[in-house]
Amino acid sequence: MAPSEAPSEAPSGTPEFSGWSCPVPLRDHPRVVMGHGGGGAMSAELVENVFAPAFGGPVLAALGDSAVLELGGARLAFSTDSYVVRPLFFPGGSIGDLAVNGTVNDLAMSGARAAYLSCGFILEEGVETAVVDRVARALGAAARAAGVEVATGDTKVVEAGHGDGVYVNTAGIGLVPAGVDIRPQRAVPGDVVIVSGEIGLHGVAIMSVREGLEFGVEIESDCAALGGLVDAMLAVTPDLHVLRDPTRGGLAAALNEIAAAAGVGVRVGERAIPVPPPVANACAVLGLDPMYVANEGKLVAFVPREHAEAVLAAMRAHPLGARAAVIGECVTEHPGMVVARTPLGGTRVVDLPLGEQLPRIC
């Protein structure tokens, strides 16, 4: 790789903004690097150049958090995630909570209420069975809290040095209610952009416990299942356009993916984005932007303007949406691009992150 094409160059360095494109051709990455798992441009590049051509198929091509498909007359959402978070237990949750809530939330982002989960463990030889038990109990409790049943499972064991204690994969299925069609492509200019609460808590919680950093108060992950919140929003109108849970890559990645998928511009006001003081402090110390920090119990919604006020009210009436806020709008200008108004009145482009600021946060 020529030095001038260093992979650390941000996506904004290219003239091309049309979504899943990436400035770093895969041929310049002969080996997988951590950033390929970060949920940003490098992950997208892997999907575009490797997985999509290999698997084909119209469903995968939609690239939402979950696939919506027809089977036996039922309209189902189907999604999977593997969980490799380090450490396994952190303030506000564990890999077991994440494994349920992450997949339940991916289904909820299609408007589906999760019904059944599969659960695959990859255990490392030598991990304490008490640790496995604690993870399993957390997973079971989270499933009961989310109203989803673990229906099928699998366990593999790999030799010491080929895992990291416990990896978990869950896949989930749920029913998509009639008349609901929620996907990134449906964002249209005029849509109001709402975030369900304070951002950055999960990433900062992981960071603080992993790096032994202290920011005055203990910061807890926001890890939670969003099915009930989405149900409350759908009760106002089935015509929600887009829902996305801003996990890896944070709010910035979620907004960029939506802008790219729908070919619209997104304009947000930095001041309108709820950032809790401990997250703001931690980000200031570490030189991070809260918009890029992962969340595990938040969603961003693109809502038709006529329904926005009622949807916002319904969100605020739900415990997981109490701090919901309008943060911006969908515009015709700068299609595929996310622009933020800074507190000083300027504007800046919010890029799709290349990788993840912190690996293995979920």
Hey, which residues between 175 and 204 contact a copy of itself (CB under 8 A)? 175
Using CA atoms, how far apart are residues 209 and 232, in angstroms rounded to an integer?
Answer: 34
Q: Does the protein bind a copy of itself through residue 275 (CB under 8 A)?
A: no
Residues numbered 79 to 118 that lie near a copy of itself (CB under 8 A) are 79-84, 115-116, 118
Instruction: Please give the backbone phi and psi of residue 6, each rounded to the nearest 5 degrees, phi first.
Output: -55, 140
* 287 binding a copy of itself? (CB under 8 A): no
**Residue 30 within binding range of a copy of itself, rule CB under 8 A:** yes
Window of 12-20, 49-57, 317-325, 326-334 that interacts with a copy of itself by CB under 8 A: 49-57
Q: Closest separation between CB of residue 343 and a copy of itself, Å?
A: 35
Residue showing tokens 């400035």: 23
List binders of a copy of itself among 124-153 (CB under 8 A): 124-130, 132-133, 136-137, 139-140, 143-144, 149-153
From residue 211 to residue 250, the character string flagging contacts with a copy of itself as x (rule: CB under 8 A) and all else as - is ----------------------------------------
Instruction: For residue 87, say if its preceding peptide bond is cis, omega within 30 degrees of 0.
Output: yes
**Which residue, 68 or 330, has its beta carbon nearer to a copy of itself?**
68
DSSP state, residue 152: E
Between vectors from CA 176 to CA 171 and to CA 179, what angle results, nearest 5°? 160
Decide if residue 122 touches a copy of itself (CB under 8 A). Answer: yes
Closest CA to 197 of 236, 226, 218: 226
Smallest gap from Cβ 119 to a copy of itself, in A, equals: 7
DSSP E strand stretches across 211-354? 242-244, 265-269, 300-303, 325-331, 338-341, 347-349
Q: Is 156 in the site for a copy of itself (CB under 8 A)?
A: yes
Q: Residue from 20, 69, 89, 281 that binds a copy of itself (CB under 8 A)?
A: 69
Which tokens hold the place of 179? 């008349």
| C-alpha distances in Å from residue 104, one per residue of 154, 221, 255, 327, 357 | 19, 17, 20, 25, 24
Q: Tell me the site size for a copy of itself, rule CB under 8 A.
A: 84
Between residues 90 and 121, which has the closer beta carbon with respect to a copy of itself?
Answer: 121
Q: How far apart are the first and last CA of the chain?
A: 30
